Amino acid sequence: MMFWYGGHWAFWQVGLMWVGMIAFWGLLIWGIYILVRGAARRPSSEEHGGDVRRILDERLARGEIDAAEYQRLRDMISSNGHSTPVDSGKVS
């Protein structure tokens, strides 16, 4: 008695199964990697404040804002810590 007679999978069906399995595991591993990397790279408030201060210094150096505006914005940054100042409506 011959079991499995005529019930073989075609080579392309087996190939598709392998491609699907590799794609599934690849996407799963990639998703976990993205979640771990995102959790590890959250900027602290100190790093964010440094970026904001650097941008503010660059704006003063380019002449986009004057010294009084610079001082006001710098005081606002140091008092809030993590929030960015709102532009005063000047076009840059």
How does pLDDT run across 20-36, given as a tens digit for each residue?
A: 999 999 999 999 999 99
Contact assessment for residue 76 and residue 84, using Cβ atoms and an 8 Å cutoff? no
pLDDT tens digits, one per residue of 58-77: 999 999 999 999 999 989 88
CA atoms in the 13 A half-sphere facing the CB of 17: 6
Q: Where are the domains of the chain?
A: 11-41, 45-80
Task: Decide: pTM greater than 0.75.
Answer: no
Under 8 Å between Cβ of 55 and 79: no
Least confident span in 15-19, 33-37, 51-55, 67-71: 51-55
